[in-house]
Structure 1
Amino acid sequence: MKISREIYQGIAEHSISELPNEACGYIAGKGDTAEKQYRLTNADASCEHFSFIPEEQFATLKDARKHGLALIAVYHSHPSTPARMSDEDIRLANDTEMRYLIYSVKEKSLKCFRIDDNKNVTEEELIILEM
Structure 2
Amino acid sequence: MIRATLEQIQQIRAHAENTYPEECCGLLIGKIEGENKILIEVIATENSWNAEATEFLSVEAGSKQNRFSIAPEVLFRVQKETRDRNLSIIGIYHSHPDHPAIPSEFDRAIAWQQYSYMIISLSQGRAVEIRSWFLDENRQFQPENNFSNQL
Task: State whether TM-score is above 0.5.
Answer: yes
Residue of 76, 88, 98 corresponding to 1:70: 88
Query: In the aligned structure 1, how far is the partner of 2:28 from the partner of 2:6?
Result: 13
- The residue aligned with 1:113 is 133
Offset from partner CA, 1:16-63 (integer Å, 9 cap, x none): 111111000110111111000011110126110011112211221122
User: Larger RCO: Structure 1 or Structure 2 (Cα < 8 Å, ≥ 6 residues apart)?
Assistant: 1
Give the unaligned 5+ runs of structure 1.
none
1:82 is displaced (CA, Å) by 0.6
- Alignment coverage as a number of residue pairs: 127
Paired residue type of 1:13: A
Paired AA for residue 63 in structure 1: E
1:43 pairs with 48, 51, 59, which one? Answer: 48
Matches of 1:127 and 1:17, distance apart in 2: 21
Instruction: Pick the aligned partner of 2:120 from 103, 122, 130.
Output: 103
Structure 1 residue corresponding to 2:79, chosen from 57, 61, 69 = 61
CA drift of 1:90 comes to: 1.1
- Normalising by the residue count of structure 2, what TM-score does the alignment of the two structures yield? 0.78
Q: Bigger shift: 119-128 or 42-51?
A: 119-128
The one-letter code matched in structure 2 to 1:126 is F
Question: Which structure has the greater CA radius of gyration?
Answer: 2
Find the counterpart in structure 1 of residue 143 from structure 2: 123
Identity percentage of aligned residues: 28
CA RMSD of aligned residues (A): 1.6
**Contact map agreement 1:24 1:76 (CA 8 A) in 2:** yes
Is the aligned partner of 1:89 residue 2:90?
no
Question: How far did residue 87 of structure 1 move?
Answer: 1.2
TM-score under structure 1 normalisation? 0.89
2:12 corresponds to 1:11: yes
**Equivalent residue, structure 1, for 2:53:** none
**Whole-angstrom distance in 1 between the partners of 2:40 and 2:65:** 27
Shift in Å, 1:117: 3.2
Displaced runs of 4 or more, over 2 A: 125-128
Quote the Cα distance in structure 1 between the aligned partners of 2:23 and 2:128. Answer: 14
> SS where residue 37 of structure 1 aligns?
strand
